[in-house]
Amino acid sequence: MSSVVLIGAQWGDEGKGKITDFLAEKADAVVRYQGGNNAGHTVVVGDEEFKLHLIPSGILYPDTICVIGNGVVVDPQVLLEELEYLKARNIDVSGLRISTNAHVIMPYHRLLDELEEERRGENKIGTTKRGIGPAYMDKAARSGIRIGDLLDPDELKQRLAAVLDQKNLLLERVYEARPLDIEDVLDKYLAYGEKIKEFIADTSHLINQIYDRGERVLFEGAQGTLLDLDHGTYPFVTSSNPIAGGACVGVGFGPTKIDKVLGVVKAYTTRVGEGPFPTELNDEVGDEIRRAGHEFGTTTGRPRRCGWFDMVMFNYAVQVSGISHVALTKLDVLDGVEKIKICTGYKYKGDKLESFPNSLKQLSLCEPVYEEHPGWMSSTSEVRSYEQLPDEAKRYIERIQELSKVKTAIIAVGPKREQTIVTESLF
């Protein structure tokens, strides 16, 4: 009987898809608990690359139950496209289950995400424009549409009539955009309901049963700790809770049943979108890391901002999620970097801060304090055991472990399944 919550410990894109896929081989169920198709999780199997936005990265294993929990916001059109994309590549999707309580991303959510970003102008968040924020706004305002509603024409019509009245006022009067027609929306979403009916389930019950039977459950976080609505660099965050606690709320799974928390962290740092980034590199080293790491967004294709490993930030992630194990990814990207830095503290107005500041203003004024490590200047992508790693790489990993006091369980040295070194087994 075991459960692992896998989370991003930075600003997203840490390689959660790859590590989820790797662990999914031994898991009986893989569960997404928050976010939506703002996520882009890449899994490479042999010569094939899969980009998943909504469906858990465990789907590539035919016997694994894959759950989209109640905490996820689901765009049914994207879901159907993703199902088709997988089926066309001979992936068995029959193990998918979607919570009846998950909220639905409606056309007005996508429109409003775009219009609100435009209106913010220079203060934009840099969202993925997938309607995520507006969908969570309606959930909190208690005017959301849930997956289960798509199966009940009367209920959907009644709820939609009330919501659409208000959304059309907003679209027309505030944003001077075209209103949406209720019959069009209703027909489209009832048709989506019919198409996804076979997957809809009581997923809290299902996952608890699987765990109670003694089987293994893996929770797959999307985004990352610093994008968390409550604990991230607000307002430059997403609208859900990627931290480990989010798994309890987003699935209906009690905290006493969570056995391990795996923090996925890159050997350096990246960020997409706006907001402060203390260890950002605006120089050739940053460009080199972006090139070597192919750091371009999986969802939007935007170049990712790159910088050094930030220990202050990582220790904060350990604190807010109770990270028990680390998966260190993309070590190979540093293979050709001569001198590698780790940020061990921040300087703020002359004083050294050892903990992550809560104020965004303070964070944007922090200067990183670095220690420098010699690079290993050799390829690690063929390495398959810890012992085979170059000494400098081992020292870099051990230093991160020493500063965080968290055990390294997995080291990734490339995007493929086999480019993975296990130092401690999680299941």
User: Which lies closer to ligand IMO via its Cβ, residue 105 or residue 426?
Assistant: 105
User: By Cβ distance, which residue is nearest to ligand IMO?
Assistant: 273
Q: How many CB atoms lie within 10 A of CB 122?
A: 5
Interface residue with ligand GDP among 247, 412, 421, 426 (CB under 6 A) is 412
Q: What is the rounded distance in angstroms from the CA atom of residue 216 to the CA atom of residue 2?
A: 5
User: Which lies closer to ligand GDP via its Cβ, residue 129 or residue 167?
Assistant: 129
Catalytic residue, chosen from 21, 28, 41, 113, is 41
333 binds ligand GDP (CB under 6 A): yes
414 binds ligand GDP (CB under 6 A): yes
8 binds ligand GDP (CB under 6 A): yes
- Report the nearest approach of ligand IMO to the CB of residue 427 (Å): 22
10 binds Mg ion (CB under 5 A): no
330 binds ligand GDP (CB under 6 A): yes
294 labelled catalytic: no
What angle in degrees, to the nearest 10, is found between the helix axes of 153-169 and 182-196?
Answer: 140
User: Which lies closer to ligand GDP via its Cβ, residue 16 or residue 231?
Assistant: 16
Q: Mapped to the 3 state alphabet, what secondary structure does 21-66 carry?
A: HHHHCCCCEEEECCECCCCCEEEEECCEEEEECCCCCCCCCCCCEE
Contact residues: ligand IMO, CB under 6 A? 8, 11-13, 38-41, 125-128, 130, 132-133, 222-224, 227, 236, 238-239, 272-273, 298
- Report the nearest approach of ligand IMO to the CB of residue 87 (Å): 23
Q: What is the rounded distance in angstroms from the CA atom of residue 67 to the CA atom of residue 322?
A: 24
13 binds Mg ion (CB under 5 A): yes
Stretch that binds ligand GDP, among 152-160, 290-298, 343-351, 366-374 (CB under 6 A): 290-298
40 binds Mg ion (CB under 5 A): yes
User: Which lies closer to ligand GDP via its Cβ, residue 160 or residue 320?
Assistant: 320
298 binds ligand GDP (CB under 6 A): yes
41 labelled catalytic: yes
Q: What is the rounded distance in angstroms from the CA atom of residue 9 to the CA atom of residue 257?
A: 21
* Partners of 280 in the β-ladder: 307
Q: What is the rounded distance in angstroms from the CA atom of residue 132 to the CA atom of residue 72?
A: 10
Q: Which of 149, 249, 260 is CA-nearest to residue 204?
A: 249
User: Which lies closer to ligand GDP via its Cβ, residue 211 or residue 268?
Assistant: 268
* Residues shown for the chain: 427
Helix, strand or coil for residue 146?
strand
35 binds ligand GDP (CB under 6 A): no
Q: Which of 269, 199, 221, 292 is CA-nearest to residue 41?
A: 221
Interface residue with ligand GDP among 34, 42, 241, 315 (CB under 6 A) is 42
- Report the nearest approach of ligand IMO to the CB of residue 293 (Å): 14
Cβ burial of 301 (10 Å; 0-12, 13-18, 19+) is: exposed
Name which of ligand IMO, Mg ion, ligand GDP, none residue 272 binds, using a CB cut-off of 5 to 8 Å depending on partner kind.
ligand IMO
User: Which lies closer to ligand IMO via its Cβ, residue 210 or residue 237?
Assistant: 237
Q: What is the rounded distance in angstroms from the CA atom of residue 411 to the CA atom of residue 264?
A: 10
Q: Which of 233, 229, 260 is CA-nearest to residue 244?
A: 260
- Active-site annotation, residues: 13, 41
